[in-house]
Chain A
């Protein structure tokens, strides 16, 4: 435990150092829409302490809400290569491998860290282009406010020595984070219709997040709203700010061996236009609404998850880029 504590502070220190060193660069900027997003499910899941089989699913045991894990995300796009309606189309696949963790810092503070590795592939007119490398790492600090039941006074005004707080199941969380330009941004690739086909954005981005969660024994719901302030990179290229809204609803099935938590959700993203040299580039904004379906499985110390997302409506890059589908699988080890 002591080692773990030290580790936490070491990690914190390291991250602060990184944050200050890259602060000297330009502004902070979270990713273009191809980048990994914080799936609220994971955060919520840990917060609700679903690591324990005996499990109560409220926001009770926070000290168990930490993990280290590996996640794989697959995203596919189709982009029109050319300015005409019948210009040929390229297929893009983005494979992201993440090392991610959620580390509690104090009772009400947590830190999410994410280190991705990107493997991108584009197919166009029979030719294949590959791009891989370290992606943009990110860290978010969270403050969580759990709502507890009000204590009812005993009728006889005797002091209640039972100091255990009972959670209502509702909670709010506030996040403040940064995405670091650890991945390489290639200016030439930004000349494609889909400039998100990159390993990194080369920019330091900031994000603000607000979430509301509810969890009970059987059922839970999570909503999260995040706003990304995207910075300018050294090519004076700046992705547009992004607003991300998502909501998920899940239930719990318990078996002797594991807990199964299937869920359904929706998310909506709005991207503002990309600017370069402080000038707006036409047709570089977009909106995307997706539906997600998935499930988590908790077995002893392990949490396995899989989800699949399909776009319900979209208008990206003036209609020139189409998001096809997304799925991800992950395996976490509760800390």
Chain B
């Protein structure tokens, strides 16, 4: 099994990123289709201003997110990564969010063990109707990551 090769063309996405002024953070968010992405869309429809550092990716259930996804995102340019899913006990796929919570906790401990701030990885749960919570957690993560230096990578 190998990590997929990055797009290799005249202009790569990383170069696009590099154009950004130093100090600009990037956060990747994995949102479950049923609750978190739905809340995010609702926040969008309400024209709620959100930090542009956050890029959202849809997954069918937060249970799909593995430590590899989180670490690869950090390794490849993100300063922070988070997972957002259904409230505990209300996962549309029954227990996916419980798995995700444990995996995020695992990644945090892994980060800590190699000297990386564990708060760069987080998980939030919310109901699809809870737009304010999506907004609050997004802004909160942005604030947290902004306080940290950009993540150096080798």
- Decide whether A and B assemble into one complex: no
Residues of B participating in the A interface, judged by any CB pair closer than 8 Å: none
Residues of A participating in the B interface, judged by any CB pair closer than 8 Å: none
